[in-house]
Amino acid sequence: MIQEALKALRRGEIVLVFDADNRERETDMIVAAEKIKPEHIRIMRNDAGGLICVPVSWENSEKLGIPYMTDIMEEASGRYPVLGKLSPHDIPYDEKSAFSITVNHRKTFTGITDNDRALTIGELAGICRDDRHESFGDLFRSPGHVTLLRAADGHVLRRGGHTEMSIALMEMAGLTGVAVCCEMMDDRTGNSLSTEDAMKYAREHDLIFMSGAELIESYMEFRS
């Protein structure tokens, strides 16, 4: 299964990953940032419907110098005390949120269209792939319409979020450590899509569906 998922990602296809019953209980669509096309954004918007985010590996996050949003808010709380009060210390399914800053490529117009978001994401993957991290501030503006997620140091060995699982997939596939993920929502119930329905979607669209447990086990083997 993992090998099929890695091949699909190298071909620029979406794979579906369910995290865990003791976590969000969500299935995310995941695709490699360096393979992003406007069509992927359209599919994520229409068929997944969650928040389209861009997991960035710990190493690339460090090189780009992107902070966690929580650190920015803590720093700014002296001037804006409400930012301190908003601290996300009570997330019900994890210790820490992966949210970092939001960005748009400077060549985008509004930043939200499928073409604009694909441009932002593809260009970010490009500077990370080519080790041109120092050009980040020249080429991108913030705030923007693409939410970056900072992967934990140690990745899935430290945190079992879709952020880290996306990056583990990129690493195993030999792709740049920048990904795109989006939670699958259920239009009928107003909740996240059930695992059964996510698996059904995978079958109907000929996509790979994986559990977080399978993914993390494969990653442990890969690293050993």
Q: Report d(CA 198, CA 158) in Å as an integer.
A: 26
The yes or no reply on residue 183 touching ligand 5RP (CB under 6 A) is yes
Type of residue at 183: E
Question: What number of CA atoms fall less than 13 Å from residue 15's CA on the CB side?
Answer: 32
Footprint of Ca ion on residues 34-53 (CB under 5 A)?
Answer: 49
- Nearest distance, CB of residue 154 and ligand 5RP, angstroms: 14
Sheet of 140-150, strand order: 99-105, 140-150, 53-56, 179-183, 27-32, 15-18, 209-211
* Annotated catalytic residue 60: no
Type of residue at 218: S
* Annotated catalytic residue 130: no
Nearer to Zn ion, 115 or 189 (CB): 189
* Annotated catalytic residue 145: yes
* Annotated catalytic residue 71: no
Footprint of ligand 5RP on residues 54-113 (CB under 6 A)?
Answer: 94, 98
Contacts of 63 (CB under 8 A, 6+ apart): 128, 131, 133
Find the DSSP H helices in the chain. Answer: 2-10, 38-43, 58-64, 69-76, 81-85, 114-129, 136-139, 162-173, 195-205, 212-223
Residue 144 known to bind ligand: no
Q: Is the CB of residue 179 less than 8 Å from the CB of residue 33? A: yes
Nearer to Zn ion, 119 or 202 (CB): 202
Give the contact letters, 143-182, x = binds to ligand 5RP (CB under 6 A), - = no. ------x-----------xxx-----------------x-
Closest by CA to 195, choosing from 41, 26, 52, is 26
Nearer to Ca ion, 2 or 202 (CB): 202
Q: Is the CB of residue 28 less than 8 Å from the CB of residue 182? A: yes
* Annotated catalytic residue 138: no
- Nearest distance, CB of residue 132 and ligand 5RP, angstroms: 26
Nearer to ligand 5RP, 69 or 119 (CB): 69
* Annotated catalytic residue 183: yes
- Nearest distance, CB of residue 35 and Zn ion, angstroms: 20
Residue 28 known to bind ligand: yes
Residue 111 known to bind ligand: no
Q: Point out the catalytic residue in the list 40, 60, 104, 181.
A: 104
The residues that touch ligand 5RP, with contacts defined as CB under 6 A, are 19, 24, 26, 28, 50-51, 53, 94, 98, 149, 161-163, 181, 183
The residues that touch Ca ion, with contacts defined as CB under 5 A, are 49
